[in-house]
Amino acid sequence: MELLTIGTFARASRLSPKALRLYDELGLLMPARVDPVTGYRLYDPAQLERARLVAWLRRLGMPLARIREVCELEPEAAAQRVRAFWAEVEADTASRRDLATFLIDHLSRKDTTMPSTSMTIRYAALSDTGLVRESNQDTAYAGSHLLAVADGFGSSGAPASAAAVDALKPLEIGEALPAGDLLNVLEDAIEQANRAVHAAAGSETSGTTLTAMLWTGSQLALVHIGDSRAYLLRGAEFFQITTDHTIVQSMVDQGRLTPEEATTHPQRSLLLRALSGAGQAAPDIRLHDARPGDRYLLCSDGLSAVVPPGDLRRVLAEATTPEEAVRELVALANRTGGPDNVSCIVADVSSEGRDHTGSGQ
């Protein structure tokens, strides 16, 4: 069989000779033979398939180190890796889209005078071990400026979720935050939380979700990573205002699973993003306009995985106080068998000027 020169091989594989020389040096795609006299690289036509795969993966933006791994795998495992890589790309794009939304929101507010109506929140938090788990790895905290739910995982899940929430608590201090600093304040707080989780988790496999709202007096800044959730009951409408960072959610987004299939998928709790201290945290950050009468629910998956949205909505619509709502929601989760730790925070926005006392934990 005749070996191909680098020029011919480059044309056939749509890789440049320069790229081929680099891939040789990196051990990604080595020529079948190097002429000992001229030093020319010669390629076997059978190597074209691998070369084309490399070219396609480069076009996807996959880093060379990962391409090398994919090339070593059997087709099915390789497909799995490409799927996982693409899910990461989409999650990253989604997070940058959220940042763009935040900035557009933030910049367009600069010219408008905010209404001076003062709003307050009344809130309650409840976290329960559930009926199956031996310990509670969730952390729920509600205060006059901060609402936060974190769901720890791994052997150090409990300290990890507590550390993430503790790192946000300094944001409780002081009255309204300067709006212009909000993004930086949140970003710093999340970085702080990520480092605190790393210190508390102490292992590669522990970490936590974090869904938190910072109350500025008229707006809620929402920070979210993982599969804990925030919902809003506004009048008759009930929305989930966070998107789960899970493999199954990304499959739903790609149209490869229906939302119904996702609720029973065996890998439904596999997270795409979380706070683990590994690398930079990539939370969604969003600014949300609150209105008097809004009722917010923050919860861990111990609630949302077992209680259907219709029941969440009914409890939120019927409960007269946040305290009653959180008690009823935890009871509902436990009535399904309480398979997981369950945490809920319910917060009501009201336009009354009086200070409401809430009960947090």
Q: Which residues contribute to the site for Mg ion (CB under 5 A)?
A: 151, 300-302, 340
- State the burial class of residue 314 (Cβ atoms within 10 Å of its Cβ: 0-12, 13-18, 19+): middle
**Nearest to Mg ion of 43, 153 (CB atom):** 153
The C-alpha atoms of residue 226 and residue 209 are separated, in whole angstroms, by 5
Length of the chain: 361
- Which alpha helices (DSSP H) does the chain contain, by range? 6-13, 17-25, 48-60, 64-71, 75-109, 157-168, 182-201, 247-253, 259-264, 301-304, 309-318, 322-335
Question: Long-range contacts for 114-118 (Cβ within 8 Å, ≥24 apart)?
Answer: 114/218, 115/218, 117/218, 117/292, 117/351, 118/217, 118/351, 118/353
Q: How far is CA 64 from CA 19, 59, 330, 344, in A?
A: 11, 11, 48, 43
CB 158, min distance to Mg ion, A: 12
How far apart are CB 249 and Mg ion at their closest, in Å? 15
* Gap between the Cα atoms of 106 and 286, Å rounded: 10
Q: 128 vs 151, which CB is nearer to Mg ion?
A: 151
Nearer to Mg ion, 120 or 136 (CB): 136
In the complex, the smallest distance separating the C-beta of residue 29 from Mg ion, rounded to whole angstroms, is: 44
Q: How far is the CB of 296 from Mg ion (least distance, A)?
A: 19
CB 300, min distance to Mg ion, A: 5
Q: Whole-number minimum distance, CB 139 to Mg ion, in Å?
A: 11
Comparing CB distances to Mg ion, the nearer of 99 and 331 is: 331
CA 201 vs CA 175, 210, 227, 269: distances in Å: 32, 15, 18, 19
Q: Give the phi and the psi of residue 270 in degrees, each rounded to 5.
A: -70, 120
Q: Which CB, 302 or 322, lies closer to Mg ion?
A: 302
Find all residues with CB under 8 Å of 52, minimum gap 6, and list them.
13, 14
Q: Which is nearer to Mg ion, 250 or 341 (CB)?
A: 341
Residue whose CB is less far from Mg ion, 302 or 360: 302
CB of 122 to Mg ion, least distance (A): 26
